[in-house]
Amino acid sequence: MSGDDRGPSESVDSKGNGWLLIPALFFGPTTWSGVAEALTAMGLDAAVVGPVACSTRTSDPIEDWCEVVVEAAEALRGRRLRIAGHSAVCPRLRFAASRLGDAGHDVDTIVYVEGRLPAHGIAPSVADPQRAELMDSVTHPDGYLPPWPLWWGPLIDGLIPDEGLREQVWRECRRIPRSLFDLPIPAPDLGSEVTEAFLGFGSGYAPSLDVARAKGWPTAWLEGNHLHQVNDPITVASTLLALDATATLGGPPVP
């Protein structure tokens, strides 16, 4: 959708919505590229945030990540933003939305996809000690986690059935400092003008789904695995639009 056809009297609201799709810290843009293409085919604007170069020498990697998010949002300047973030970025989405607001963007909706919900000042290692234990078990002596696919062995066989797509997603996975997950995450109050919603695949984040429902948020549940947006981008794109319209979809998570 191009802004070139707008008349001079049209307001920012008339420019329409834009979707900013944020990959998990472990992954690259291919995890959202299919959804972005589906949204574009539906006549909407979409941008995917690129990777962040996380280093043990980085003084504040969350700030660095926010800078990359804000930079990607420039492609949607003037649109009313809908943010969808996947997995490990979910606890960081309120902070990112706040920074986008500081940069002059209007954020209307946040959709947390397959991840934990924000909790102000809580480090991921504290919020999820079992995951922290797993990360500790695979951390290399230099303090870096290996690329995400190397954590799981045969457990992720078949996660992405399409071989070419799977190879591309795995190729984009990179090493990340383990210490990143020991840093407390700010989660500022965004006020009632921002709609928050949750989308889950399978049972992996059932607690987040339960909390979102208890809060009265729009929620949706699709039967699939952790990377379902890669395997079925059209359904996921349509579900994001339904959540943005404050619909509640789907049944309970798989036990």
Assign residue 152 the CATH number of its domain: 3.40.50.1820
CB 151 within 8 A of CB 144: no
pLDDT value of position 54: 66
Number of domains in the chain: 1
Examine residue 195 and state whether it is found in any structural domain, yes or no: yes
Examine residue 252 and state whether it is found in any structural domain, yes or no: no
Return the ∠ at Cα 3 (arms to 240 and 93), rounded to 5°: 35
Cα–Cα distance measured from residue 214 to residue 8, given in angstroms and rounded to the nearest whole number: 44
Examine residue 129 and state whether it is found in any structural domain, yes or no: yes
Examine residue 30 and state whether it is found in any structural domain, yes or no: yes
Q: Which residues pair with 46 in a beta bridge?
A: 19
CB 183 within 8 A of CB 125: no
What tens digit of pLDDT does each residue of 205-255 get?
A: 999 999 999 999 999 999 999 999 999 999 999 999 999 988 656 655 544
Q: Which residues pair with 201 in a beta bridge?
A: 222
Q: What is the largest CA-CA distance in the chain?
A: 60
Q: Which parts of the chain sit beneath pLDDT 50?
A: 1-14, 254-255
Query: In which domain, by residue range, is 189 found?
Result: 13-244
Examine residue 214 and state whether it is found in any structural domain, yes or no: yes
Q: What is the pTM of this model?
A: 0.90
Examine residue 1 and state whether it is found in any structural domain, yes or no: no
Q: Which residues pair with 60 in a beta bridge?
A: none
Q: Which residues pair with 47 in a beta bridge?
A: 20
Examine residue 97 and state whether it is found in any structural domain, yes or no: yes
Residue 109 is classified by DSSP as: E
Query: Would you call 122 helix, strand, or coil by DSSP?
Result: strand
Examine residue 151 and state whether it is found in any structural domain, yes or no: yes
How far from 88 is each of 3, 5, 218, 252, CA to CA, in Å?
A: 33, 38, 20, 22
